[in-house]
Amino acid sequence: MKALITGASSGIGRDMARVLAKKDYDLVLVARDDNRLEKLAEELRKDYDIKVEIISMDLSIEDNCKKLHKCVSDVDILINNAGFGDCGNFTKTDLNKEISMINTNIVAYHILTKLYLVDMKAKNSGKILNVASIAGFMPGPLMATYYSTKAYIVRLSESIREELRKEKSNVQISILCPGPVKTNFNDVANVKFHMREADSMNVARFAVNKFLKGKFYIIPGIDVKLGIFFSHFVPSSLVAKITYMVQKRKIVK
């Protein structure tokens, strides 16, 4: 069995690689940071009797996503995890960074999900995990672009799930929707959380176990579950006001 993980050099992606390695999955690890990938690959090859391939690639470039599929065409699991955020007033945040974010958080997910889903449907087996966020269920003032990218992933995955159900396909799609996790996301997004952050390895273990059991919505933590639940019943305008106050406290001065 083989799993392809994007954004595998750090955080949840790295830890999901460790969890899957322990379950004897061969791995294809993709990220931009070649040094971190190599270090992780050496660790996994030393600890487990598995094959580990690393691919240093920037998935914000559309052609690279297509090249990745051609290079690695047969996988049992695809985990779309690469992504980053940014924080600030929408008129003041950097446009180039936002376009790169959209390309990484949406376009890469869309292309890889589509190409690998076609393969999986042809053999009527396979699993896809799209890493979304609690952010995908609510408005996100001061992180407008990031929240919007995660909303896209939630809706795309929900729509595909229903198509697969109607076709009685054995192919599975799931979404991971964590709250704040202790990773290098904060540094890239220029934020500092003032609430409890989940441990990355705990989230990874929880996610992989639920994913392999066929769970669609994978939501670590009772506080995150409650947040998503109440967001469905509270007016969007009120959620936006609350989110604004929370985000304002995050911005690194």
Active site residues: 146, 150
Angle between helices 11-22 and 200-212 (to 10 degrees): 50
Beta strand 2-6 pairing with 77-80: parallel
Distance, in Å, from the CA atom of 142 to the CA atom of 240, rounded to the nearest integer, reads 10
CA angle 106, 96, 180 (to 5 degrees): 55
Residues 6+ apart with CB under 8 A from 157: 113, 130, 132, 173, 174, 175
Quick check: 108 and 82 in contact, CB under 8 A? yes
